[in-house]
Amino acid sequence: SLSRYNYEQYHSLDEIVRWMRHMNKTHANLVSMFSIGKSYEGRKLLVLKLGEKNASYKRAVWLDCGIHAREWIGPAFCQWFVKETINAYYNEPEFKKVLSLLDFYVMPVLNVDGYHYSWNTDRFWRKTRSKYRFNCYGVDANRNWKVNWCEEGASLNPCDSTYCGPSPESEPEVKAVAKFIYKRRKRIKAYMSFHAYAQMLLYPYSYQYDYIPNFKCVESAANKAVEAIRSAYGIRYRHGPASSTLYLSSGSSIDWAYNNGIPYSYAFELRDTGYYGFMLPDSLIKPTCAETMLAVKNITMHALKKC
């Protein structure tokens, strides 16, 4: 029963879509669901908007999960976030105020084709499921954004896991999200994307080692966010620019979002650090999501203030 949806378990794409429809129906005062386009294989690209429905101009925060198909803890977190945000609206006066001031756009599964393929066929699939002229399937959806596309840390070989695609935004999923965010870039104050695994909180740049202009603000918010994560269960996350904290990669969503005017742009690499890797068990969904929720709330509050 959807009223007893289990957030401490991974779900198939069909189950996630059913859950999204259910949330749209049962929390109509706070939630609205819409499609921003279609995937390569023709699936709807669904987004939930969370926030009080008032006529005023509202700032926004964007969250996406499941850019890489095998990183299942991402979509699990996005669902957890929606559930917790609705709970917080009714139980936390401060958060109720936040939802009157801003909207959250949540895309639980960006790479829907890849997630479906990972669930049913190849658990460790990473890329999309597009196919162009060559024999290999898929593009790395985090190398396909129009920002220093296909330079360091990306590959022009269609058979590589970091294939950047035949052109920037070749993937309909990437193009649809980019179009949606670009249209609302003045309202969106934070962009957050959820991946696994490394236990890191990363910000731009990914494609080069230079510091971003508002480094102090972004670094300060990241520092507080990882402290919030640690306060929950003692789990340590590293944080810093993606290029030096993780590795160089071009065409990433956080660089694109930042270059298009979104001041706080982060990629979370959730649990763990390799014991289970992509196969994080159901039992660790709750602590992972609970600690990440604190970080997201922290960043949201930071993004609402002047820095």
Partner 1 sequence: HLYNNRYAGDKVIRIVPKNDKEANELKNMYHQLQVDLWKPNSISSILKDTVTDVHTSSNSSRTLLDYLRKANIKHKILVNNVQKLLDMQNSSRPTRHRR
Tell me which residues touch partner 1 (CB under 8 A).
6, 9, 12, 121-124, 140, 153-155, 160-162, 198, 246-249, 274-279, 281-283
Q: How far is the CB of 280 from partner 1 (least distance, A)?
A: 9
Furthest CA-CA distance within the chain = 55
For the CB of residue 275, give the shortest distance to partner 1 in the complex, in Å: 7
Map tokens 């966010």 to a residue. 225
Determine which one of 71, 171, 173, 269 is catalytic: 269
Is 92 catalytic? The answer is no
10 versus 182: smaller Cβ distance to partner 1: 10
Q: Which of 137, 169, 146, 142 is nearest to 154 (CA)?
A: 142
Nearer to partner 1, 164 or 218 (CB): 164
Shortest separation between residue 242's beta carbon and partner 1, angstroms: 12
DSSP class of 34: E
Give whichever of 85 and 111 is closer to partner 1, judged by the CB atom. 111
Interatomic CA distance for residues 289 and 268, integer angstroms: 12
3-state secondary structure of 195: strand
All residues at 6 or more sequence positions from 202 whose CB lies less than 8 Å from its CB, including other chains: 239, 240, 241, 242, 245, 246, 254, 266, 267, 268, 269
State the nearest-atom distance from the C-beta of 179 to partner 1, in Å.
26
**Is 124 or 132 the residue whose CB approaches partner 1 more closely?**
124
Q: What's the min distance (Å) between Cβ of 129 and partner 1?
A: 17
Q: Which is nearer to partner 1, 161 or 223 (CB)?
A: 161
Q: What is the C-alpha to C-alpha distance for residues 258 and 265, in angstroms, rounded to an integer? A: 6
Question: Which residue, among 191, 203, 204, 195, has the nearest Cα to 271 in the 3D structure?
Answer: 195
DSSP symbols for 63-121: EEE-SSTT-THHHHHHHHHHHHHHHHHHH-HHHHHHHHHEEEEEES-SSHHHHHHHHHT
Catalytic amino acids? 269
